[in-house]
Amino acid sequence: MTEVSIEKLTKDYGQGPAVNSISIKIAEGEFISLLGPSGCGKTTTLKMIAGFEDATEGAIRFDGRDVVHMPVEKRDIGMVFQNYALFPHMTVEKNLAFGLEMRKTPKDEIRTRIAKVLDMVQLTGYSERYPRQLSGGQQQRVALARALVIEPKILLLDEPLANLDAKLREEMRVFIRDLQRRVGITTVYVTHDQAEAMTMSDRVVVMFGGRIAQIGTPSDIYERPANLEVAEFVGQVNIIRGKVGNRVVSTAFGDVPVSGDFADGAELMLALRPEAVELLPVNSGATGASAKVLSSYYSGSLVDYRLELAGGTVVNVQTFPRTRFADGDEVLVHAPADRFWPLGSAA
């Protein structure tokens, strides 16, 4: 197992930095996702870790050893590409053997290791097939097996699920995560899909414009976003504005206590996730702000409402369809104070 340390890594193609002085410490066996919109520098960062791109500045250390000037083929990485990049003229077995042959592994050991890895990705019996004879999901698993069979220092995945259909994608998420836990390999996963990053990772690195916006566990990122950009990129969010006064923000939901240093009189933005809000009938006797249902979308397990609060604030609320409200209904809304997260002063 390998610890990866990225220090002040920068890539500049000549039109301003694509990756701007980022630092990440990845623990042994950790699963890290690089998450961000296209062009945020996440793929460039992965390519620099793999060695396909030179770093303009900074260091990449595998267990303390700087690999910046080491060619790709010497870095001992396992990489899974977006389109799998299986060698089309080789059978599954030959694809898997390739990396081991490069390492001059004895023939009988190659055979046992291929059998083991095929069992691991549940493709025993497929060794004589050519990639074109496999489904997308199977090709994906062969690509994973090919990267893992060489027992690399780190596993790098570049949007590996992007070409699969929705159902298979969810299965593969769980599959990859389980496999990574069993093997215990340090993993860097690049994706623009926040659901993938949240469900699979130990920690998520959110990137915008070549910089790291936030590093944290999935719940850190979701519940305690570092700024407005992160809050809006990861999941749905309501931005509630209010004035600070005496350690309390007065909002359309009522007064919300905030911890942290905010000057009295400043206008503050609070993040409120749609599922943190409770909807109650007006006659329930509960306390809460009154609101009117503008529209609702039923999706089976959940209902999404659009509500208008007094003063014209519109919020999105997601609830279980236990009690249903119709468009135009008056309701009470309530959100626990600890579900409001301050994002900083409103500009």
Partner 1 sequence: MSKPFFTVYCLIIYAFLLAPIAVVVIASFNAGAFLTFPPQGLSFRWYVVFFNNEVFMRAIRTSLWIAALTMVISGIIGTMAAMFYVTHAGKLKETVRVAMLAPLLLPEVLTAISLLFFVYSVGLGTQNLVGMIVGHVLITLPFVFINVSASMESYDPAWSLAAQSLGAGRFTRFRRIMLPLIKPGVIGGCLFAFIISFDIFTISFMLKGVGMSTLPIQLFDYLRTNFTPEAAAVSTCSIVLTMAVVVISEKVLGLRIHRF
Residue 88 makes contact with partner 1 by CB under 8 A: yes
**Nearest distance, CB of residue 160 and partner 1, angstroms:** 12
Among 58, 99, 160, 342, binds partner 1 (CB under 8 A): 99
β-partners of residue 132 are: none
Question: 142, exposed or middle or buried, with CB in 10 Å at 0-12, 13-18, 19+?
Answer: buried
Residue 307 makes contact with partner 1 by CB under 8 A: no
Residue 92 makes contact with partner 1 by CB under 8 A: no
Residues 10 to 69 in contact with partner 1, rule: CB under 8 A: 50, 52
Under DSSP, the state recorded for 162 is T
**Nearest distance, CB of residue 98 and partner 1, angstroms:** 5
Residue 102 makes contact with partner 1 by CB under 8 A: yes
- The residue count for binding partner 1 (CB under 8 A) is 26
Radius of gyration (Cα) for the chain, nearest Å? 24
Among 59, 61, 98, 280, binds partner 1 (CB under 8 A): 98
**Which of these ranges, 38-46, 94-102, 111-119, 201-209, lies near partner 1 under the rule CB under 8 A?**
94-102
- The answer to whether 182 and 11 are in contact (CB under 8 A) is no
- The answer to whether 4 and 186 are in contact (CB under 8 A) is yes
Which one, 113 or 273, has the nearer CB to partner 1? 113
Over the range 52-61, which residues count as b (16 or more CB within 10 Å of their CB) and which as e? Answer: ebebbebebb
Residues 132 to 161 in contact with partner 1, rule: CB under 8 A: 132, 146-147, 150, 156
**Nearest distance, CB of residue 189 and partner 1, angstroms:** 15
Among 69, 89, 107, 182, binds partner 1 (CB under 8 A): 89
- Give all strands of the β-sheet with 330-334 in edge-to-edge order: 278-281, 330-334, 289-298, 303-309, 314-319
Among 7, 12, 57, 76, binds partner 1 (CB under 8 A): 76
Residue 175 makes contact with partner 1 by CB under 8 A: no
**Nearest distance, CB of residue 22 and partner 1, angstroms:** 22
Residues belonging to the chain: 347
**Nearest distance, CB of residue 284 and partner 1, angstroms:** 59
> Which tokens belong to 52?
């396909």
- The answer to whether 277 and 335 are in contact (CB under 8 A) is yes
Which one, 71 or 300, has the nearer CB to partner 1? 71
The beta strands (E) that lie in the chain are given as 4-12, 17-26, 31-35, 57-62, 65-66, 77-80, 154-158, 186-191, 203-208, 211-216, 238-245, 248-251, 254-257, 267-272, 278-281, 289-298, 303-309, 314-319, 330-334, 341-345
**Nearest distance, CB of residue 77 and partner 1, angstroms:** 6
Q: State which amino acid sits at residue 271.
A: A
**Nearest distance, CB of residue 13 and partner 1, angstroms:** 13
**Which of these ranges, 19-27, 99-107, 172-180, 304-312, lies near partner 1 under the rule CB under 8 A?**
99-107
Question: Which chain residues interact with partner 1 by CB under 8 A?
Answer: 50, 52, 72-74, 76-79, 81, 83, 85-89, 98-99, 102-103, 131-132, 146-147, 150, 156
